[in-house]
Every structure is written in structure tokens, then in C-alpha cells.
Structure 1
Amino acid sequence: MLHAFFFSSAAQSPADHALWVEGRYYTYEEVRARAQGVSAALTPFAGGANRNCILFAHRSACAYAGLLGVLAAGMAYVPIHPRFPAARNAAIVARSGARVMLVDHVCAPQLAALMPLLPPDLRIVMLDAQAWDSPGGDPQHAPTPSAPFVHDPPPWPALVAQDDLAYLIFTSGTSGPPKGVMIPHGSAVAYVSAHMQRYPCEPGGRFSQFADLTFDFSVHDVHVCWATGGCLYVPALQDPLYLAGFIREHQITHWASVPSVLALLQQFRKLAPGAFPSVKMTLMGGEALPKTLAQAWSQAAPNTRIVNGYGPTETTVIVLTFELTPAFLADASRPAVPLGQPYPGIEVVVADKYLVPVPAGARGELLVGGLQLASGYLSDNPLDDTRFFARAYPGRSYRRWYRTGDAVSASPDGLLYHGRIDTQVKIRGNRIELQEIEQVVQAASGSAQCAVLAWPLDEAGKPVGLVAFVLAPAAEAQGARGARTARIRHACKQSLPVYARPDRIVCLDDFPVNVNGKIDRALLLARYERLAGGKEGGNERRRNDALAL
């Protein structure tokens, strides 16, 4: 099972450092004992059909012990983020059907706003930081209902099957509402095992833990580290000035993040040649990796291997990798960084819109099959389930496939990425379904039509912001338009995480349409770019919330 990686390392080297967070080290034995205490507290909730447990904990020692304790209790963790709106977190709690929620001291201040929105029968267990040094917690600081920790050993280990869920991560849904991606233990274990097979690691590695627990990249950070007996280092901040010092201070050997993090380090001139000699392994994922950025990082971390990873949440972290060797980085004839080759236990097909394989080298949608596929979605929307389908393909052994929605083509270096075939985008590594944002915008605006587009783009062609367009009568007074945009902004703030909120709201007299009567998004964006002055200039116009195209 997924947590067995940690407990195996804890049994072999209990005195080794397993975690550095909040300014101190914790040994494998300390984390193991604390995880066992969490597991004991969860024992009353581990029975029944629904074994989901909300994990409302952020970058604390309790968060990681809580995660392990949930798994050891035979339950699945469902992470929520303190920076997400309370309404969104409450919706996730409700959809998960969880009966219990773990809360650490970092997220405890958020409970006042969240509690009125939670199901009345939800049990809350406080992950008190003081319990590292003394038994129990401080029940006076726990909201009602509350449950102190108990430290009597539970049945150990809990009976868990490979098909049982390890975690449930909510992403944007195909037609709007967030959906839960259900990852069983078997899929998660297959990923960790495949990664270690392709990129073996010696014990004693110092792994960064940059991704939040609501981002499945964190599964790599946490479990690959502990599977190899390494120590997990959790930065307190995401500020580039802090991160540069963090890597050097702790002599990080394994760095994993979205490329945007390296771009920030580069922007603040922290990628000087030889700046990070300790880094031996770099894994990039979550968004496209510009080759120029990889070249700059290779100079700053001259001893590192650089691997570009690709994998939707539905395929458990990463299913394709490509290593950027010195020869590749120096070859100007290969400007694009490929997605690469599948992991062991993974098969791929490039197909047309009818799910028929395309000719070799032709562009099509990437289909993924194999051991790492999710069980499916926790979703009320039948369209979400169409992403998974069953079919036999010549030369492929698997019969269950996931439609990624990504356009790719084959090359000698592996698969090349050509963007999305639908309206899903990534903003700074966060996956966003534009339909979800459009649903919020349309409901708040009362408009008959609306569209949300990714704009502007950075030098690598990656979107860095969002613009919402809404239909408004040409005769509508300026004050009325201002009130309309204010309602939209308020609704987005209440329902969407920060990265999914439109930067601008534009009121239109009409929308350009194509021959099928659908909104012509390409033409709409072209018109807006002209009005706003393209990627450069147009600062005065950008200060306005409402424009007419």
C-alpha cells in the first residue's frame, strides 16, 4: 500500500531524519509514532463504505503525520487548501461524503468561516502541534464537535486492498463543477515503483516538498522521498528569494516543481552559474517546460539531471518522462522539450476524434492506459465519466483508457505536446477548466453569453492570466456595467481559488460567432488583443474593468 513505503523505511532506519518543517527535524520514528496516534483517533470512522477523511492541514508536521495516519487507518485523504474560498472547501467536503476532518494549527483559524458551511454531523479532529512533545491536544482550542488524540495502538496495519482509495483530489469538472479524482493504492504504488525503477535514488536524499497537498505532484515529493529513506524538506514560503537560500541552506539533492517556480528564480536573477551544486535530480511537471529555462537551470545546478514529466491527475502524477541531456540542451535543432516515453506499466495511443489511432507522426489526442489509471471520478456529471472508456487496440495489452484532452504527435524523442484540444488551460501549474469559471461568471452576470479566455501569454506562449467576457446591452449605463462587473468579481472571490479568478472583466455588445453559431474564441481573443495593445503596452486600457469591443 502507499503508506507502506514510509513504514518500511521507518522500520529500517527509525533514527534517520524523515522530515524538516517549521524549523526543525523529525525522525522516522517520531513521524511514525505520531501517524499511529492519528490512525488511532480515526479508528471509529474507518468502517463503512465511505472511508474518506478531509485533510485540512498545510505545510506543518501535523499535515504529514496526518496524511500517513489517514492511510494507515485504511482511509483515503481528501486535501483542502486554506487559501481556497470557504464555499469551495465546503463543497468538496460535502461531495466527498467524509464523516471526519483533520485540522492542523495552520488551518485552525479558517474554521470560523468554514464551520457554518459544513455538514452538521462532520466530526473534527484537531492535529495539535503540541502533541509532538506531549500526549493529547488542547481541547480548549478545538471547535465543537472535537476529538482529542488517543495514543493506544489501533489494529495495525489496517486491512486495505489495492483497489481501495488512497486519496481523492478535486479538479475542475468537464462541464463546470469540481470533480474528485479517485486514486486507489494500486495506482499510487505503481507510480512510485515505476519512478524508482526509472530513476533510482540512493538513501539519504534531501527532497524538496514544494507542491501543496491539493496538487497531486505532492504525491511524488512525499512518497518517493520516504520510499528511498530520504528526508522531506518543506519550504515555509514560495518567495524566490527565500527558495534560493532554502536550496543552498539545506543542500537539497532532489528538486521537483512546476517550471514557473524556476522562471521566478530566473526573474529575480537567482540562477547564477553554479548557484545550486547540491541538486542531483530535477523533476519538472504540471506545465510546459521551456528549453531556455532548462538551459538556465542546468547552469545554476551543474550536477543535476533534468527530467520533464507529464501526467494528468487521472493517471497518477506522471506517466511520461524525457531527460534533457547536455547534448539535447545544446542542440538548437530541437527547440521543443518532448513529453518523452511512458513509464513501465503504461501504454499510450494517439487517436483522432473517433478514438481511432492516427498514422505515425500525425497529431491526435493522447490516450493513456495502464496500472496508474484512476478508479474514475466522484462526480454527478455523466460527461466526466466519458473521459474513461474501454477498447482494445492492436499491440496494446490494456483495455481501459483515459482521454487526456491533450494534442500530441510522435517523434524520435518521444511524444511532443501541441496544447489542449478542449478549453482546459494551466495557469502557473494549476489546471483550470474554463467552463467552471464561465459557469460562475454567467450566473453572477445574468448575461445570455459569456466566455473566459487565457490571456496574456508569456514569452514561452504559456497563459499567465484570464479574461472574462460577458454580453451587455449597448445602451447599458456605465454605472450598471460597473455593478455587473462588481457582482462577477464578488462571485468569483466566493467560489474560485485565486489562480482561477479572471484578471479582467470585459462587457461586450455582441460576441463573434463561427458558422455553427458558436462563439468564435480565436476571433474574440484577436479583437481583444488589438484593443488592449497586444502583449506590450495598453496599460491605460488595462486599468479599466469594462470595455466594449
Structure 2
Amino acid sequence: MRFIKDIQNSIRSNNSHNSLCINNIFYTYKDFENEIRKIRFAIVNTIESSERLIGLVTNDDIQTYASIIALWLEGKAYVPVNPETPLDRNYHIFELTKTKHVIDSSKESVYDDYEVINSGVLQDLHPSLSPKNFSGEHLAYILFTSGTTGVPKGVPITFNNVQALVDAINEEPEFNLNNTDRCLQMFELTFDFSVVTYLFPLLAGACMYTIPKGTIKYFYIFKLIKEKALTVLTMVPSIINYLRPYFPEINEESVRYCSFGGGALHSDIAKEWSECLPNCKIFNYYGPTEFTVYSGFYPYHKDTHTKTYNGIIAIGKPQKDTLYLVVNENNEEVPIGETGELCLGGPQITPGYWKNEEKNKQSFFIRNENGKDIRYYKTGDLCIKDNDSDFLYVGRADFQVKIRGYRVELSEIEFHAKSKSKKKVNMVALDINNKLGNAELGLAIESEPFDTSYIFEHMKTKMPNYMIPMHVRFIKDFPHSINGKIDRKELKKHFDIK
């Protein structure tokens, strides 16, 4: 597999450069290579070649990152589990994947029912970094996301999928990492965005800076940007909401690239953030786990590229070999300018949810285009294609709710509420069922209480009465998922409607 060979070459040619900075400790590519060799030796001597799905406990250390590459050199997939996640859930993931072996760098592993390779205490070195020959159809990883039924939903990604992602990003002339770059890696390794934040720095021979577990994530990022003069940032948009109070202190000329994804990027805060990074190109990336992280992007610029919908920056155009299709309920393409569900086709698409045929039937369909069958993934995201062939993000299909029989976009409520607010804080519109089972609207505000009467007066001039939230809750700190996204399900628990 070509990208693995490229990683091998990058490690060899950058042996003296730093590869990782973890909790203020630097590790060179030579250190990284040695860990890969030790782990690969253990894999070869412990695990049968036919066993391809290997559990990986995602500690924040060099051994965990080295384990990914060691597994890939052997044509095996990693199945990551977070050590801070309930053990029952992690066991369930390993049961679903029939995992037998787990690589764990913890001092004491809790996975007693499995054959554990303790990657923190290995001695012998494998003689080679050369990858084995194997099919690109082999899996590179399986990530498990939350399922609506409470059962984790597995998304397998093949080596061919990852190669297609690498090829697509390499085609973009605007984005070129090099071995002097200092790159933020803020993501837990069970989250798909982590793939791009370790893969592309490794391919370039750059250095990754991770966030230690247990720290206040946004504050640690703030310190890294300033103290380590980071040059490449990949973030979820919610992080800069928490950095907003520090904006007056941030004027970081070293930052070359800042990429966002994993949530809606709002134009007001993006403009403020761009002022903090005078030499930076900002990209608003879009892509679900099911399509190997990235599927396309919009090159945001506060003066020249500012397309928005309800204050949310556009997601732009698909990348190399990726197809975007906006459809109605019958999977028929809708006209330009109309809202529909965005579907993705191309070589980055997952083979399908892990052992979940019912979900596969709901989420994938085949469409004949010019005599060729194209397989599409239904993202659940509502979008509009404009006359320039740019795609505008409207919101999640499940954030489009019915109130008194009317369709309501929750993002539109949030846009009008925030546009008038004197306080620059997070506001989230929610649909909440009352005791009769009818949906009502609530507005959660991340702040100490303040007078909102003027905000509601403004909203009444912009939206019909049924779109005005009836319930307001001030919440000091919004709940977040482990991946940094606002947890709307938890937010709803703050609304007790009689």
C-alpha cells in the first residue's frame, strides 16, 4: 500500500526530527521507529497472520501511535477503545469484532479476557520497517460511533479508503505540510478526525503535539499555540468558542493552516479567529466517519470567501474523486437552490456498517449514472447546492423538527438568537417533548443568567411565532461528547417541561 511505504520513507528520512510532543516530552522519528519495530516484533511473534482485527487501548503515549503503524505494516486493522470509556462498552466492541488480541500500553491492563500485548515494556526489535504485501481491501481500522439504539455502530475503513483520502488531499495545491511543521493533535484516537491529524504529519515528517488526558483541552491548546508556535491546527469549531476570551492575547504569525470540521463553523467567530492568525489559510472541511474523514472543503477567507447559510460557513466543493448529490426523500436529485439530504459517493466510502444489514439498507443506495452504478452514503445532513456548485450546510436532518405541523430548522433559531445577543456565548435550540408528547422549542444558553428580552423581541421580527422558543435555560458549562461536540441529548435533560 503506497501511503504506508511513504510513511516508512518519511520515518527513515526524518530520523533526527521530532515526531511527537506528549506532555512536553519530545520524541524523535528514531524513537518512533524503535517503538514501531518493538511492537511489530511482538505482533509477528504473538498474533497469527490471519487475525486482522486487533484491539488498541488509546493512551496518550508514543507506543499507542507506534502500534497503529506497526499494525498497518502487517496489513492489520486497529479497533480503538478509550480507557476512560465504561469497560462494558469496550468489551462489547471487542465482542462485535471478535477481537482476540489487545495492544495496551497501560501499566496494568484491565482486559483480562484477552491476550494483551503490553506495548510499554517490549524489548526486541523487528529487523524491518518494510510493509507486507496485502490487499487494499483489508481493513485499516474500525471506529465505533454512538448508535440510536444504544448499541455502538461500527464503521470499517479499508486501506484503499485511506489511500483515496491521501490522494485527494495531495491533489490540493493549497495544503502542503513539511518536516518543519508543528501540528496540533487534539483528538481522541477513537474519533475519526484523529486519522488526519496523525497521518498527514507522519507523511510529511512533521511533529505532532497532543493533549494530555485530564487537562482542560481548550486551555492546553491555547498554551501550545503560544508557547510552541504551532503552524498547523485541526480543530472542532466548539473549541474556539472557549478560546474567545483569549482572542485579544492571540496574534500568532506562525500558524500557516487552520482546518475545522466535525461541526458547524459560524461566520462571526471565524472572522474573529482569522484576525488572530494573520498568516493563516482557513479551511472548513466536511466529511463523516463513513467517508474516511474528509470529503471536501471550503477555503474560508474573511474578505473573499464568506458564503454562509444562517450564519454557518459553506462546506464548499467535493475533493478529488468524490461525488456530492443532494436528494429528496425518494433519493432523487433536487434542483439547484433547494434543500435536500447530502449523499456522498466515491472511493473513500466505507464498505458498510459492521454486521448491521438493516442500517446498511437505510444508509446506502446505488444510483446509475451514465451507465455506471455509483454507491452513495446518505449523510443525514441537509444541504443546498448553489449556482457556483458550492454546497451550503443547512443542518442535520434530525435537527429539522416539526412544531405545530411546521418544519423548523433549529440552526435558523440559533442564528437569529446569536446575531442579536450582546454576549458572545453558545446558544443551542432544542426540541423538547412536553408531558402530552408534543414538541416545544427550548433555547439553552451557556452563560450565567442575563436579560434576553431584547433577543426575543428581535427574533419575533425575523421568524413566525411558532419558531420562538418557549423555554430558556442558562447552563454554566455545556456538556460535550469525548470528541468535543456539544451533547444535545444531555442538554435536553436541563429542560423539565410540565
Q: TM-score, normalised to structure 2's length?
A: 0.79
- Aligned: 1:511 with 2:487: no
Kept in 2: contact 1:341–1:415 (CA 8 A): yes
- Aligned: 1:125 with 2:117: yes
Q: CA deviation at 1:381?
A: 5.1
Structure 1 spans left out of the alignment, 5+ residues: 129-136, 138-147, 426-452, 470-507, 513-519
Q: Distance in 2 between matches of 1:245 and 1:537?
A: 26
1:270 aligned counterpart, secondary structure: helix
Q: Distance in 1 between matches of 2:229 and 2:442?
A: 49
1:326 aligned counterpart, secondary structure: coil
Kept in 2: contact 1:45–1:99 (CA 8 A): no
Q: Distance in 2 between matches of 1:228 and 1:544?
A: 45
Query: Aligned runs of 1:348-427 on 2, under 5 Å?
Result: 348-380=324-356, 382-394=358-370, 399-411=374-386, 412=388, 414-422=390-398
Q: Distance in 2 between matches of 1:544 and 1:174?
A: 17
Q: CA deviation at 1:4?
A: 3.0
Equivalent residue in structure 2 for 1:160, among 130, 134, 137: 134
Shifted more, 191-200 versus 336-345: the winner is: 191-200
Q: CA deviation at 1:221?
A: 0.5
Kept in 2: contact 1:289–1:308 (CA 8 A): yes
Give the aligned partner of residue 232 of structure 2: 254
1:173 aligned counterpart, secondary structure: coil
Do the aligned partners of residues 538 and 528 (structure 1) sit closer, same or farther apart at CA in structure 2, a change above 3 Å counting? farther
Kept in 2: contact 1:280–1:303 (CA 8 A): yes
Kept in 1: contact 2:309–2:394 (CA 8 A): no
Give the aligned partner of residue 47 of structure 2: 45
Give the aligned partner of residue 516 of structure 1: none
Give the aligned partner of residue 317 of structure 2: 341
Query: Aligned runs of 1:424-439 on 2, under 5 Å?
Result: none
2:159 alignment partner AA: H
Q: CA deviation at 1:424?
A: 10
1:87 aligned counterpart, secondary structure: helix
Q: Distance in 1 between matches of 2:429 and 2:59?
A: 25
Give the aligned partner of residue 186 of structure 1: 160
Q: CA deviation at 1:548?
A: 5.5
Do the aligned partners of residues 462 and 214 (structure 1) sit closer, same or farther apart at CA in structure 2, a change above 3 Å counting? farther
Q: Distance in 2 between matches of 1:536 and 1:234?
A: 32
Q: CA deviation at 1:23?
A: 2.4
Give the aligned partner of residue 209 of structure 1: 185
- Aligned: 1:81 with 2:82: yes
2:312 aligned counterpart, secondary structure: coil
2:297 aligned counterpart, secondary structure: strand
Shifted more, 19-28 versus 171-180: the winner is: 171-180
Q: Distance in 2 between matches of 1:537 and 1:298?
A: 28
Give the aligned partner of residue 244 of structure 1: 222
Do the aligned partners of residues 6 and 466 (structure 1) sit closer, same or farther apart at CA in structure 2, a change above 3 Å counting? farther
Q: Distance in 2 between matches of 1:467 and 1:82?
A: 33
2:313 aligned counterpart, secondary structure: coil
Q: CA deviation at 1:126?
A: 1.0
1:209-266 C-alpha deviation (Å, 9 max, x unpaired): 1111011101111111111221111132343333212112211100001011111111
Q: CA deviation at 1:158?
A: 2.2
Shifted more, 330-339 versus 349-358: the winner is: 330-339
1:399 aligned counterpart, secondary structure: strand
Q: Distance in 1 between matches of 2:357 and 2:25?
A: 45
1:402 aligned counterpart, secondary structure: strand
Do the aligned partners of residues 546 and 388 (structure 1) sit closer, same or farther apart at CA in structure 2, a change above 3 Å counting? closer
Q: CA deviation at 1:328?
A: 3.5
Kept in 1: contact 2:183–2:233 (CA 8 A): yes
Shifted more, 154-163 versus 95-104: the winner is: 154-163
Matched residues, number: 441
1:299 aligned counterpart, secondary structure: helix
1:170-224 C-alpha deviation (Å, 9 max, x unpaired): 0123654211101001111211221132122333211111111011101111111
Q: Distance in 2 between matches of 1:523 and 1:272?
A: 32
Q: Distance in 2 between matches of 1:65 and 1:365?
A: 39
1:422 aligned counterpart, secondary structure: helix
1:436-480 C-alpha deviation (Å, 9 max, x unpaired): xxxxxxxxxxxxxxxxx99x96948977698987xxxxxxxxxxx
Q: CA deviation at 1:380?
A: 3.6
Give the aligned partner of residue 500 of structure 1: none
Do the aligned partners of residues 467 and 354 (structure 1) sit closer, same or farther apart at CA in structure 2, a change above 3 Å counting? closer
1:498-522 C-alpha deviation (Å, 9 max, x unpaired): xxxxxxxxxx64422xxxxxxx576
2:303 aligned counterpart, secondary structure: helix
- Aligned: 1:197 with 2:167: no
Q: Distance in 2 between matches of 1:173 and 1:333?
A: 29
Kept in 1: contact 2:183–2:209 (CA 8 A): yes
Q: Distance in 2 between matches of 1:176 and 1:466?
A: 21
2:343 aligned counterpart, secondary structure: strand
Q: Distance in 1 between matches of 2:308 and 2:55?
A: 48
Shifted more, 357-366 versus 167-176: the winner is: 167-176
Q: Distance in 1 between matches of 2:476 and 2:294?
A: 39
Q: Distance in 2 between matches of 1:88 and 1:170?
A: 10
Q: Distance in 2 between matches of 1:36 and 1:538?
A: 47
Do the aligned partners of residues 275 and 397 (structure 1) sit closer, same or farther apart at CA in structure 2, a change above 3 Å counting? farther
Q: CA deviation at 1:46?
A: 4.4
Do the aligned partners of residues 71 and 527 (structure 1) sit closer, same or farther apart at CA in structure 2, a change above 3 Å counting? same
Give the aligned partner of residue 59 of structure 2: 58
Q: CA deviation at 1:15?
A: 1.8
1:186 aligned counterpart, secondary structure: helix
Give the aligned partner of residue 497 of structure 1: none
Do the aligned partners of residues 424 and 467 (structure 1) sit closer, same or farther apart at CA in structure 2, a change above 3 Å counting? closer
Structure 2 spans left out of the alignment, 5+ residues: 402-409, 420-424, 445-465, 478-490
- Aligned: 1:169 with 2:160: no
Kept in 2: contact 1:37–1:153 (CA 8 A): no
- Aligned: 1:235 with 2:211: yes
Do the aligned partners of residues 328 and 390 (structure 1) sit closer, same or farther apart at CA in structure 2, a change above 3 Å counting? same
Give the aligned partner of residue 324 of structure 1: 300
1:413-455 C-alpha deviation (Å, 9 max, x unpaired): 7101111223699xxxxxxxxxxxxxxxxxxxxxxxxxxx99x
Q: Distance in 1 between matches of 2:443 and 2:13?
A: 60
Q: CA deviation at 1:544?
A: 9.8
